[in-house]
Amino acid sequence: SKAGIWNHIMGFFGFPGETKKEAEDSKNFVHENRAHIHSLGFMTYVLGKYSPVAFEPEKYGVSYYKNPEWDLAMDYYFTLKEGLNIQEALDIFEEFELNHDPKWDLRTCVREYIFLYIDHFGSNHLPQLQSQPNQRTKRHQTSVGIV
């Protein structure tokens, strides 16, 4: 970040086989490195139709349901043999959303826009993108990955 590079982290909770401890390790990593992280996006794991996990579900301990009425769906509802289930991953995500560093609450939800601002202002120091305290209490991000 000192070199002028915007550091954005994308992550998710609930990858097949992920344990609660591993999810906590991810949260701790982000917290410990927050001084170098400008923005982030977290969600729960989504089993994409064309993902390696969908192509080899046995390898990942996944069973998924293809609803014939949703023939255009790009992801599937799934269950796991071990690791966090969907609800547990959602609970971890929601706790993370409530307790993360407020500097990551940006006034844009489209991460690609951030890079347009960086280019326009020629800097990765963009306090004008940060939400104000009164905006944070009004906004609630919805969870992703639940069908």
Three-state DSSP at 78 gives strand
Per-residue model confidence as pLDDT tens digits over 44-86: 999 999 999 999 999 999 999 887 787 788 888 899 999 999 9
CA atoms 67, 69, 70, 72: torsion sign:
positive
- Compute the 3-state secondary structure of the chain and give helix, strand, coil in percent, each to the nearest 5: 45, 20, 40
Judge whether 61 lies within some domain. yes
- pLDDT tens across 21-38, in order? 999 999 999 999 999 998
Q: Is 41 contained in some domain? A: yes
For the ranges 13-22, 50-59, 91-100, 107-116, which has the lowest average pLDDT?
107-116
Q: What is the DSSP letter of 106?
A: B
Residue 102 belongs to domain spanning = 8-138
Q: Does the residue 112 lie in any domain?
A: yes
Chain centroid to CA 68: how far?
A: 28
Structural domain includes residue 134: yes
Which helix (H) or strand (E) element contains residue 107?
none
**pTM, to two decimals:** 0.76
Q: What's the domain count of the chain?
A: 1
Instruction: Please indicate, yes or no, if residue 147 is contained in any of the structural domains.
Output: no
Cα–Cα distance between 13 and 89 in angstroms, integer? Answer: 5
pLDDT band at 143 (very low <50, low <70, confident <90, very high): very low
